[in-house]
Each structure stands twice: as C-alpha cells, then as structure tokens.
C-alpha cells in the first residue's frame, strides 16, 4: 500500500494564528475519497484537526470544502480523480472558525428573510396540486444545504453587496413556483436582495452536487419574473386588479 500526500489548511482563528497548509502522508486505499484521507489525519496523526462531516454519503452537506480551490464535498471527491497535489481548505466565502470549518450560520439568517409559503385565500380543502406543477419546483427540493454554490459565487464572495446568493434564490423560486402560493418574491429579490448583481455565470450550478440547474431554472426565471412585475404595464395592471403584491 503506497502513501499519498495531502495538504490541509490549519489555522485556529481564536488563537489569532496565521493559516498555512500542512502536508501529511496518508496510506492510499483503492476507492478512497478526500474525507477518508482527512479523517485518517485527524484519527492517527493530529487529533486536533477540526473537520465537519456527518453522513459520508453526500446527503448532509456538512463536509463542504475547497479541494484544489474548487468547492466540493469531501465525501464525494475521489482521490483518484484529482490531478497533481491535493490541497484541502475551508470554504472561504464564510467566516473561518478552525482548520476546515467555516461558520455558515449566515445562511440560516438569510433563509428566515424569505417570505414563507402563503396559500391563496379561500382555497377549498383538501388542497389539490397537479403533478406537472409540482415537478417544476421538485428539483429545488433536492438541495442538501452544503452552500458550495454560495461559496463559489463571486458576488457573494468578493463584493460587499446585498445579494443573498444562489441557494436562497432557489428557495424563493421554489415558493414562487408553488401553484397554491399567493405572493411574489421575485420583486423582493430584485429590489432588496441583490438579484441584479448576479450575472448568470452559472458557476453555482457547475459545483452543485445535486446537479440542480440553479441559474437556468431558478435565477433566470426569477429575474424574468421580477422584470415583468416591475416593468410590464399589463402585468402590473393585472396584479393590481387581483390585489396581488
Ligand atoms: S450565476 Fe449568479 S448566483 Fe450563480 S455563481 Fe454566477 S453570479 Fe453567483
Ligand atoms: S443548491 Fe446545490 S450547491 Fe447550493 S446548497 Fe443546495 S445542494 Fe448545495
Ligand atoms: S459527510 Fe455528509 S455530505 Fe459529505
């Protein structure tokens, strides 16, 4: 059994340390993923290494990291598939905590700002939803909240804007596309949540481990919806007549 070399970012934010990559030798086993190598280091070489993970099955989203500078799930990234030296670091769009752990809690704060499901008034029960209407937003429910899409987004990462980011646009889009929902979130996204800063580069959908077509199926439709709601006089008149926001 040969060894592989893996460089892992080490820094304790609370001790005011400067961060750096530290190289470790790890025994290679056929089929191993990056999380196996990181866990080997944390179990047998340096137990002070902080790493977050739960399912090891690409379901919980907690092992999100930057592997060779690309946001990926450690438990889904095979060592065999990586070219050159392996560098593993924390997601850099979020405040750093320690080693491979970032503080992603801002996402839960943003999530609370998106208006929740608001059913149309006077709907007879039981509520009936037709399958084609459900299928449209079904894709967004596959989100595992890994926040890799937030991490890769250059607007979220580099600019001091109000943009809430791709994960949260798909949440708003899934509610806006709900056939029984009564409110419009796209105008809020455009006017208060920075949707206009997104320049549809599609980097977010490229890194999504659930292959959600974030830009094509959520961001672009929400941009179009907002443009209609704000600038189309006929749609504005209809919405006014129907008493919609
Ligand atoms: S498409 Fe928009 S949300 Fe996605 S990464 Fe690019 S700028 Fe960010
Ligand atoms: S949309 Fe995809 S990349 Fe973004 S948080 Fe959900 S699963 Fe992760
Ligand atoms: S450990 Fe759950 S997604 Fe990787």
Reply yes or no on whether the pLDDT at 152 is more than 90: yes
The alpha carbon of 5 and the centre of ligand 3 are apart by a number of angstroms equal to 22
**Atom number in ligand 1 closest to CA 197:** 7
Residue with CA nearest ligand 1 atom 7: 198
User: Which ligand is closest in space to the CA of residue 147?
Assistant: 2
DSSP class of 123: P
**pLDDT over threshold 70, residue 153:** yes
Q: Is 228 in the pocket of ligand 2 (CB under 6 A)?
A: no
For residue 150, which atom of ligand 2 is closest to its CA? 4
Q: Is 58 in the pocket of ligand 3 (CB under 6 A)?
A: yes
Under a CB-based contact definition with an 8 Å cutoff, are residues 7 and 85 in contact?
Answer: yes
Q: Looking at residue 13, what is its pLDDT?
A: 75
According to the model, what pLDDT value does residue 134 have?
87
Average pLDDT over residues 201-227: 97
Residue 197 has pLDDT above 70, yes or no: yes
Note whether 7 and 25 are within 8 A (CB). Answer: no
Q: Compute the C-alpha angle 75/81/85, nearest 5°.
A: 95
Does 146 sit in the ligand 2 pocket, CB within 6 Å?
A: yes
**42, 28, 32, 167: which is closest to 101 by C-alpha?**
42
**Between residues 233 and 41, the one the model is more confident about:** 41
Give distance in angstroms: CA of 194 to centre of ligand 1.
Answer: 12
The whole-number pLDDT of residue 239 equals: 66
Range in 9-18, 128-137, 167-176 the model is least confident about: 9-18
167 Cβ inside 6 Å of ligand 2: yes
- For residue 243, the model assigns a pLDDT of 56
d(CA 25, CA 56): 22
| pLDDT for position 18 | 87
Nearest ligand 3 atom to the CA of 74 is 4
- Looking at residues 29-48, what average pLDDT do you find? 97
Does the pLDDT at position 242 exceed 80?
A: no
How many Å apart are CA 67 and CA 103, to the nearest integer? 18
Interatomic CA distance for residues 234 and 245, integer angstroms: 14
Determine the average pLDDT of the residues in 197-224: 97
pTM, 2 dp: 0.92
The pLDDT assigned to 32 comes to 97
Q: Separation of 89 CA from ligand 1 center, angstroms?
A: 21
Which ligand number lies closest to the CA of residue 152? 1
CB of 214 sitting under 6 A from ligand 2: yes
What mean pLDDT value characterizes the chain? 93
Mutate to test the pocket of ligand 2, among 93, 104, 214 (most ligand atoms within 8 A of CB): 214
**Each residue of 51-100: pLDDT tens digit?**
999 999 999 999 999 999 999 999 999 999 998 899 999 999 999 999 99
CB-ligand 3 contact for 4 (6 Å cutoff): no
The continuous run of DSSP H or E covering 230 comes out as: helix 220-231
Question: Which atom of ligand 1 sits closest to the CA of residue 205?
Answer: 4
* Section 208-218 average pLDDT: 98
Pick the residue whose CA is nearest to atom 1 on ligand 3.
56
């Amino acid at each position: 059994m040969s060894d592989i070399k893996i460089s892992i970012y080490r820094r304790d934010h609370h001790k005011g340390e400067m961060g750096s990559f530290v190289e470790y030798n790890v025994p290679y086993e056929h089929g191993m993923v990056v999380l196996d190598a990181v866990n080997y280091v944390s179990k047998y070489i340096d137990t002070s290494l902080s790493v977050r993970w739960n399912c090891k099955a690409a379901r919980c989203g907690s092992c999100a990291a930057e592997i060779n500078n690309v946001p990926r799930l450690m438990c889904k990234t095979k060592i065999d598939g990586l070219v050159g030296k392996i560098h593993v670091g924390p997601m850099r769009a979020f405040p750093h905590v320690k080693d491979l752990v970032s503080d992603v809690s801002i996402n839960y704060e943003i999530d609370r700002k998106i208006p929740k499901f608001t059913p149309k008034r006077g709907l007879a029960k039981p509520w009936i939803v037709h399958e084609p209407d459900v299928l449209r937003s079904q894709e967004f429910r596959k989100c595992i909240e890994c926040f890799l899409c937030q991490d890769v987004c250059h607007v979220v990462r580099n600019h001091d804007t109000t943009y809430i980011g791709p994960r949260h646009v798909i949440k708003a889009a899934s509610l806006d596309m709900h056939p029984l929902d009564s409110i419009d979130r796209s105008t809020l996204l455009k006017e208060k949540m920075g949707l206009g800063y997104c320049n549809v580069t599609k980097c977010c959908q490229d890194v999504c481990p659930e292959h959600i077509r974030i830009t094509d199926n959520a961001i672009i439709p929400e941009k179009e919806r907002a443009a209609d709601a704000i600038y189309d006089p006929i749609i504005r008149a209809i919405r006014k007549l129907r008493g919609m926001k």
